[in-house]
Each structure stands twice: as C-alpha cells, then as structure tokens.
A and B are shown apart, each in its own frame.
Chain A
Amino acid sequence: MTEPPSRPALRARELHKSYGRHRVLRGADLTVAPGELAGVVGENGAGKSTLLQILAGTLAADQGTVELGGTLGYCPQQPVLSDSLTVAQHLQYFAAAFRLPDLRRGEELLDRLGFRQYRDRTVGELSGGTRQKLNLTLALLHEPDVLLLDEPYQGFDWETYLRFWDLVGELREHGTAIVVITHLVFEQDRFDTLADLADGRLAVRRTSTGSSDHVHA
C-alpha cells in the first residue's frame, strides 16, 4: 500500500451497522484520495446503500468513524425531489441551501446531462430518467470535494450514460473524490479502485486504471 500524498478526502474506519439481528456492516474501512474514483460492488442486500448513507451522514452507524476532507455531495439511489416544484425551482432551492452566488453550474449541468427542455416542468411530470438527472445535478451543484453516488445512472439512456462518465472524468481531473455504487461489470475498468462489499467488510482492489498515488483501504 502506498502512503497518500495528501490528506484523504474520505476516510471511514471500522463501520458497523445492524438491522435487528442482521449485521450488515462488520468493520468496513474505506479511504479515498482527492481525484480518486472508487467503485463499491457487491451482491444485492450486501449493504452498499447502507454504507453510502452512513458515509453521507443520513444514517447513523452503530460504531465507527467517518472523516471528510471537504464538502460533500450525495446522490441517493431513489431521487429525493419535490413533485410540485419545477426543475428550475429545484436549482434555486439548492442554490439557496449551498448559498451559491448564481445558477451557472446548475444551468451548465442541464446542458451537460441533456434535460434543459424540462427546465420549467414540474418534477411530477418528468420520466424516471429525467428525475434521476435532476437528482444527480443537485448533488453536483456546489462542486463538492467528495461525491457519493448510489447507482446514479438508473434510467439514463446510453448517450446520457456516456455524458455522465465524461462529467465524472472532469470532476476527477479537478480533484473530486468520487465513490460510486455500481452493478455493471463492463464498466468496472473505469474505476481506480473497486471495493467489494462482502460479509460486511470491504475488500479493496486496484483496477488497471488505478494510478499509484491513490489511497486504498
């Protein structure tokens, strides 16, 4: 294992989580460096979404620590949106939350993800794929240092899927640490590291893409 060149963007240690008698996490560790793209894989029910929710702070772990080296963006698996607001109003609401000086980034993401034509439509009228685009956009709006994405491309068409990966590539180049839950075997070479969640623990392996200066668990 190589020592990190700088402070990790995300470091989780000894995470434990049980639902009743079912122990989902049993000491999971994960460390991600700035600019690193880490994929979390595992069988259905292995606890991937639980792990990401704990990393994001939306779910309490029974035990363990999570340290973040900067601002956080979290894209939950199920879009968390308001059906009665338009796409543009969502951007305004989250710009207020992040105290952004303008909507430039949001407007840019409407173009990048190809859903500008729905800007003034209420979310209740949108298809699942477009809702997911907005769900992702809200996580990216404030250009976070750490990005946690739980199967962020569900419902995307192929073109949008490819645009998503272009966007991820740019974010990496700008030093964003990214953790993605993925099921797709064919895309696993896109990641620097893959963390396999099995029996409540993460086994991290470097892919052929992974560069030597990235941090592993």
Chain B
Amino acid sequence: MSTPDLRPGPAAAATAAAAKPAFSPFATALRFALRNQTRNRLAGMLLVAFVPVWYLLMLLMVGHQSLEFRLFATGRVLAVDGGHLTLISAGLNALTLIVGFAVFDAVRKALAFDRRLVFAGYRQNTLIAAKILSVAVVAAAVALYTAVVLLAFWRPDPVGWLAVLGGYTVSALTYGAFGLLLGVLVKGDLEGFFLIIMGGLMDTFLQNPLGNPLANKPVLQWFPSFGPMQFAVGGALGHTALWGHLALGLAWAAVFALAGLLIFHRRTRSCS
C-alpha cells in the first residue's frame, strides 16, 4: 500500500513559505488542549465542592488520635497526629480522582479529533508536547488548589506545607499521566472511570495507616502514591526532605505518560 500524500503539497508549501502561518501549531494545540481539559464541569464541581467536604469528613471521622507512620528512607517511625496524616491522605485521594478523571475524559473524547488533525498536517510530536504541558498545568493547578484548601483545616509550617504541595503535585502528575494512558487505551467511559476510581482509592487508602493492616509494610512501595505520600509526610510531620521519594513519584508519572504517548502516537498515525 503506498502512502498517500496527506501533507500540504508543493503549492501549499510555496504558499506557506511566502506567508507566515497565522496560528502557531504548538501554541494553538496547547491553548485548545487546556480548554478541553478545563471544560469538564463535573470535574470542576468536584474540585470546588468535593475537596473541602472530603477534608472535613475525614477529619471528623478520624479526630486527632495518634498514629504511627514509617518513613522508609530513614527507617524512622513517626508518631503523628492521625488527623493531620489523614488530611494529607484525603487530599491525595481527592486530587488523584479529579485529575485522573478530567484528563481521561478530555483525552478520550479528543482522540478521533486529534487523529483528524494529524491527517490534516499536525505533527504528532507537537500535539503530544501540547498534551503533556496541558496535563502538567492542570495537575499543578489542582494540586495547588487542594493544598490551599488544606490550610482551612490545618496550618503546617511553611516548609511543611510546601512539602505537601510537592507531594500533591507529583501525585496529580502521576494520575494525570494515568488518565492520559487510559484515555488512549480503553474503549469505554465506564472502564476508564472504574480503573481511575479503584486505582486511586486503593493506592491512596493503603498509604494511610488508619485502620489499614498493610500500613507501613514494604508492599506499599509498589504503589504510585507511595513516593509523594512519603515526601509530604516526611516534610510536614517529620521535618525531612525525601527527594528520592519525590523522584520515585515522578518516575511513575513518566512511565504512565510515556506508555500513553506511545499508544497515542500509534493510534493517530496514518494507516497507509
């Protein structure tokens, strides 16, 4: 099968050379990718309403009982305020669901349209770069909002709060990348939502020792939220900066993003 010439031909190329394109491909793709990911009203409502309500419910449920939390990098077991620990865990829980859901929904709905754009001449790498950047922006914004709302329930010291923000941001990036992977991989909405909800709930729930028999066990290290949770708790409650664990969270994000983008590349290429 020969390859049809889907790119602008000699005439169009001459026109393009003679006059500058009116719209930069990257800036245009980034602008519209951001618009797509921020148009999800349900995700917006969840962000505004669910995050504070979830913090409040979890705090009311747990109170301020003392809990033991193991910092795996140092081997220290911290005796911490269970309410504070649960707030960090609740924030991670809420933002993983919201970011994963918003990115999954946007990527899945746009896939056929992205393919049409590629056939019209968009470079796949340009669309991919715009998608990565838009996921990063959305993830960072949701993480910042979630960390700011936390202040209504608990005021850690500024460095501790920054550690929570760092953990939230990396976790949001991980679940943004997970949403991207599912968006290009699964066929139905239901499968994607189910995987994000179950994956996010299980992952973040297990990191909290509250009533959890797997708490502080090495098996936790194999879950995506492990690194961000260790970094956030280490910084906010243990006065320790566990950069390696933050990097571990970023590695999860990179693996999900890479897998998702490879599949995106494959699903938007020409069949001829």
| Residue from B8, B9, B11, B117 in contact with A99 in the complex, judged by beta carbons closer than 8 Å | B8
Does chain A have a CB within 8 A of B223?
Answer: no
| Residue from B6, B16, B36, B122 in contact with A72 in the complex, judged by beta carbons closer than 8 Å | B6
Residue pair A57, B109 in contact (C-beta under 8 Å):
no
Residue pair B112, A97 in contact (C-beta under 8 Å):
no
Task: Report the bound CA distance from A168 to B113 in whole Å.
Answer: 25
Interface string of A81-115 (1 = CB under 8 A from B): 11111000100111111111111000000000000
Residue pair A82, B113 in contact (C-beta under 8 Å):
yes
Q: Which residue of B lies closest to A10 (CB)?
A: B4
Enumerate chain A residues within 8 angstroms of B3, measured Cβ to Cβ. 57
Interface residues on B, range: 35 or more
Residue of A57, A80, A103 with most partner-chain B CB within 10 A:
A57
- The tally of residues in A whose CB lies under 8 Å from a CB in B reads 41
Enumerate chain B residues within 8 angstroms of A138, measured Cβ to Cβ. 116, 120
Residue pair A93, B270 in contact (C-beta under 8 Å):
no
Enumerate chain A residues within 8 angstroms of B1, measured Cβ to Cβ. 60-61, 63-66
Residue pair B9, A84 in contact (C-beta under 8 Å):
no
| Residue from B6, B8, B23, B112 in contact with A57 in the complex, judged by beta carbons closer than 8 Å | B6
Enumerate chain A residues within 8 angstroms of B272, measured Cβ to Cβ. 54, 57, 60-61, 66
Does chain B have a CB within 8 A of A142?
Answer: yes
Interface string of A30-74 (1 = CB under 8 A from B): 000000000000000000000000111111110111111011101
Does chain B have a CB within 8 A of A145?
Answer: yes
Q: A residues touching B (Cβ–Cβ < 8 Å)?
A: 54-61, 63-68, 70-72, 74, 76, 80-85, 89, 92-103, 138, 142, 145
Can you identify 20 A-B contacts, CB atoms within 8 angstroms? A55-B4, A56-B119, A57-B3, A60-B272, A71-B12, A72-B4, A80-B113, A82-B32, A85-B35, A92-B28, A94-B117, A97-B25, A98-B120, A100-B15, A100-B22, A101-B18, A101-B22, A102-B19, A138-B116, A145-B11
Closest 4 CB pairs of A and B: A101-B19, A60-B271, A97-B120, A96-B23
Further contacts, 20 of them, CB under 8 A, given A61-B272, A84-B36, A99-B16: A54-B272, A57-B272, A58-B270, A60-B272, A63-B1, A67-B2, A68-B5, A71-B9, A74-B119, A80-B113, A92-B28, A93-B28, A95-B23, A97-B120, A97-B122, A98-B12, A99-B12, A100-B21, A142-B120, A145-B9
